Amino acid sequence: MSDLDKVDKRIIYRLSKDSKNINAPELAEELNVSSATIRNRIRKLEQKEIIKGYHAEIDYTKINNKLTVLFKCSSPSIKDRPKLAKKTQTLKNIVQIKEITSGSVEDLLIKAVVQDSEEITKTANKLEEIGLKVKDEDLIIEEYFSSYSKFGPKEDIEDRVVKFKKLSGKSEIADITLTEKSSISNKKIKEIADILPEECLIVAVERKKSIISPNGETKLKPGDIISLFSSKGIDQETLKTILG
């Protein structure tokens, strides 16, 4: 569907950001339309299967110390892949399946919840019995989700700034959560000198509730919360450059 207008795009943006707490009257007020229009648009997006569901984000590791594992599998042929993906859904500990086109042999990514290494092996064996080849398996440490910001309002770029504080004079400090598409993710601090303005300095990095005192060799990762200090203030252009 290529004819999405501003209302459709904003609905998609808000629902993907927080479908639990957003409602039609709030969206209607934001977009200056009626609540009935919002409900009608949502219904049409559902009918066209652009909105395919409203899924909860579950942290299974907090349930009896369970593990989440990503199995990278290959199917015998493209023709067999959808059928095998559906068969995989019958396994009780499978929570997500993705069919992908890949330059490598893996064309199914399968996420499973397990209790221990023994269950990882059992799950791999069951996938093999279904007809898949398990090429690799990895523990999922953390997952990060973000709304498609091109569908959101320009000012929402600040929603991804956790804390924004003015200091003395023009000085400011902002705590910014990095994502996969952040321009400085997966780079060492010494490698981003040409990305950040000269007056900006990363003074701290929070990673999984631990605080890192950064140096030039510190590699920034998606999910990190960086404390960015600027003696001249942090403008929108700098935030856009960082967030991507």
For the chain, domain boundaries: 6-47, 60-139, 153-243
pTM: 0.62
Residue 135: Cβ-neighbour burial (10 angstroms; 0-12, 13-18, 19+): middle
Q: 95 — phi, psi (to 5°)?
A: -115, -15
**Cα 244 to Cα 226: distance, rounded to the nearest angstrom:** 15
Which regions of the chain are under pLDDT 50?
1, 162
For the stretch 4-40, pLDDT in tens is 999 999 999 889 888 888 889 989 998 999 999 999 9
> In the prediction, which pLDDT does 179 show?
85
Place of tokens 């899924």: 55
Q: Report pLDDT for 209.
A: 75
CATH of domain 153-243: 3.30.70.1450
CATH number of 60-139: 3.30.70.920
Q: How far apart are the two ends of the chain, measured CA to CA in Å?
A: 25
Burial 209-229 (b: 16+ CB within 10 A, else e): eeeeebeeebebbbbbbbbbb
pLDDT given for residue 73 in this prediction: 93
CATH 1.10.10 fits 6-47, yes or no: yes
pLDDT digits (tens, 9 = 90+) for 138-172: 888 877 677 777 787 765 655 555 466 666 677 88
pLDDT for 180 equals 85
Cα 222 from Cα 84, distance rounded (Å):
32
Give pLDDT, residue 11.
93
Whether 60-139 and 153-243 share one fold: the answer is: yes
pLDDT at 1 (0 to 100)? 46
Cα separations (Å) of 12 from 42, 45, 56, 153, 160?
9, 9, 16, 12, 17
**pLDDT for the residue numbered 103:** 55
Quote the pLDDT of residue 141: 80
Nearest of 91, 89, 109 to residue 99 by alpha carbon? 109
H or E element that contains 166: strand 161-166
Cα 20 to the center of its chain, rounded Å: 17
The token pair at 180 is 């996969």
